[in-house]
Chains A and B, each alone.
Chain A
């Protein structure tokens, strides 16, 4: 599903922050991406989400060489990827329900066809009573859950999550991890970037460890 070959990344003329990355993310797989702060976890997620282009090497996503993709093709590929960012990126003028349903609106689905699905997912992440609330009045944890729900609602083939349990209590963190596991069972490949050792210990999965710009894989 994802193949990196000798990938390097630098910002501007600065030092290379990711070096010689060689790895595969198979379909249906589940992995944690970890490493110290500043190791480049978020940059690697952005490479996977096509927000950044590598300064060298080959990135192949869903069988496509990303260096050959145009803007429209990138938009099409992103419909197959869900992402949860640390700053949530919710739209403040839309309700929680509308934010979560946004991927369906973008692909032009009728509201009646996804209404039940969105409501069920919001309930599952503990936002059943906050569906009509606007993001500015949500707590950090609620925003994070709304962002996760938006990322998983369309059941993407690849889910990327940057510290998805960073703002929630351990109980809710376990519940969210269960959601990711359920999603993985339905066929989604999951990459969770986290510092949280407890979270990683709760589920036996492959670990991708970034250290000094290089990636070490523990199967």
Chain B
């Protein structure tokens, strides 16, 4: 087929050619943003991101506190010397202290005095009570050099040789319980994150289907002028990517602010039983800088999931529109 050059005008009006007015719209978006239920979707993504960020932040806090407790507890062992008929408790305590000092890996040994041991019982027995006649055990705390693997059975053996009523507690049971608690918390957090992500994908898919239904006439016209599915999907995809980013930034930002101000918030509850209990367990609620980085990455990830879910739905829906 012989055709004229494409750049030669079909009709040439010479000097009569009018100009497009200076403010004329010449490049409107092919898919108008107003046609997409944007606010609702931004709100959904923001809420989902906020929930995911709070969950992740809480998991990070609990994990950090749990590992702190674990390292504190794991660096100590406690020896309890019980009074026994026919034995001098003070001498047994001194013998245990001497035996401990000769053990490799023990950097400090501190026996609690009789008064200190009695003070430990105060929360249960109250003050002003004479404990002289009670068989109160004595406690010795030994600090272990970091990274040292103690031979506990040898230690027990050497201590019971000098003080038969002494028992050694390396807090292993406590550490195991802490470990399983923090593991359960992380698992629970991951479960919530998975639910949040699934809910986000479902919400975005519905929103995309709604947007495609509302813009069906536009899609049909684009098909008429020869636009392929990729071209059409790209026009919608940009909107959903921006909506996802907007929602991610809002939700993630609010969550970061919440953690940023958590110290002040915790301060409002200090002095109350609940506040003090939380402070004892979790410190000041403040996240480390790496925690904020994790929240930022998570917000971007949720925006990316929003974009991916919309793209997947777009192509599936375009197959149904001729």
Contacts and interface: CB of A to CB of B under 8 A. Distances in A.
Pairing of A with B: yes
Contacts of B27: 98, 111
B173 interface: no
B20 interface: yes
A133 to B, nearest CB: 10
Contact of A78 (B3, B7, B25, B223): B223
A115 interface: yes
A47 interface: no
Interface residues of B, number: 41
Interface of A: 1, 27-28, 49, 51, 71-72, 75-81, 83, 85, 89-91, 93-95, 97-98, 101-103, 105-107, 111, 113, 115-117, 119-121, 123-124, 128-129, 131-132, 150, 152-153, 155, 157, 179, 182-183, 186-187
Interface in B4-19: 4, 6-7, 9-13, 16-19
B227 interface: yes
Contacts of B223: 75, 78
Interface string B40-79: 0000000000000000000000000000000000000000
Contacts of B293: none
A101 B225 CA distance: 10
A131 B159 CA distance: 99
Given A103-B226, A105-B30, 5 more contacts: A106-B227, A111-B26, A119-B17, A121-B9, A132-B20
A117 to B, nearest CB: 5
A150 B225 CA distance: 9
A124 B17 CA distance: 10
Interface in B269-322: 319, 322
A106 B231 contact: yes
Nearest to A90: B221
B221 A91 contact: yes
B2 interface: yes
B12 A120 contact: yes
A120 B17 contact: yes
B1 A123 contact: no
Given A78-B223, A78-B226, A106-B222, A95 B10 contact: no
B6 to A, nearest CB: 7
A161 to B, nearest CB: 13
A97 B24 contact: yes
A98 B221 contact: no
Contact of A95 (B16, B18, B24): B24
B37 to A, nearest CB: 16
Contacts of A51: 322
A183 B32 contact: no
Contact of B17 (A75, A116, A183): A116
B217 A121 contact: no
Contacts of A105: 30
10 contacts: A71-B229, A75-B229, A93-B35, A103-B225, A111-B26, A111-B27, A113-B7, A123-B13, A124-B11, A157-B3
B124 interface: no
A21 to B, nearest CB: 21
